[in-house]
Amino acid sequence: MIPDRRGVRVVGDVHGDAKAFAAALATDLFVIQLGDLVDYGPNSGRVLAMAFEMLDTQRGLFLLGNHDHKLARALAGQEVRMDAHLAATLSQLDPNMRLRASAEFARAPAWLVQGPRVFVHGGFHTGMLEEAPPAMPIGRVGGVLSRALYGEPTGRTQPDGYPERSLRWVDRIPHGLTVYCGHDRRSTDGRPYIRHGMLGGTAVFLDTGAGKGGHLSWIDLPPIDTKG
């Protein structure tokens, strides 16, 4: 799915920030967007339109994020927690866009492996190195797919009402492997947050708050030859 021997631009959570996403797409590199295209920001509909154009022109792809999965469930008529952000996203989608979104979310991979790189929305699981991502289910998810979408919850709730998530999975990343992910806004300085694990692997967190009062971040990576 990622063109061989081509540089990659890895883009963090967009969350409806169309202006920033347009800037991220202004590149000759192949774009990998890490999921959570929608909600929070003002232009989720426009962001989806740009993401679908990116697919149509084969300039890049996006992974499935938990907010994208929630939108897909809502579009399928499943019972979801309807908050103001999801309601605003739904209000921006005409019938054709709803159909396209349902189809593309169903096809979007939950993770991708390219040589020593793993791209995923929520968090890493060693199973990602052994199996291809499954087709997106409509409903609750578990196992490796749950880690891909939601990271690793501790079972506790933070003061802001959101689930507390652990970074223990970083210590399970094998030596020499780098995981590029979003989902958790871990940065304290506006730059992508880099964390090294006990086995010698690395996690790079690219969510720096786009659509939530922060900004959109991306990292450009050189090409690698996965066939050589």
Q: State the DSSP string of 23-41.
A: HHH-SSSEEEE-S--SSSS
Q: How far apart are CA 72 and CA 100, in angstroms?
A: 10
Amino acid at 35: G
Domains delineated in the chain: 8-221 (3.60.21.10)
Torsion of CA 38, 41, 44, 48, to 10 degrees: -70
Could you tell me how many helices (H) and strands (E) the chain has, helices first? 6, 11
Helix (H) or strand (E) holding 47: helix 44-56
Assign 227 a pLDDT band (cuts: 50, 70, 90). low
According to the model, what pLDDT value does residue 226 have? 65
Residue labelled with tokens 């154009």: 53
For residue 209, the number of C-alpha atoms closer than 13 Å in the C-beta half-sphere is: 11
- Region label for 15, one of left (φ > 0), alpha (ψ between -120 and 50) or beta (otherwise): left
**What confidence tens digit (pLDDT) does each residue in 78-105 have?**
988 899 999 999 999 999 999 999 999 9
Q: How far apart are CA 131 and CA 145, in angstroms?
A: 11
Q: How many residues does the chain have?
A: 228
**What confidence tens digit (pLDDT) does each residue in 39-86 have?**
999 999 999 999 999 999 999 999 999 999 999 999 999 988 899 999
Residue 35 makes CB contacts below 8 A (sequence gap 6+) with 13, 62, 63, 64, 65, 66, 67, 68, 108, 121, 149, 182, 183
- Name which residue leads in pLDDT, 72 or 135: 72
Please check the confidence at residue 228 and state whether its pLDDT lies above 60: no
Residue 47 makes CB contacts below 8 A (sequence gap 6+) with 14, 16, 17, 18, 21, 37, 38, 41
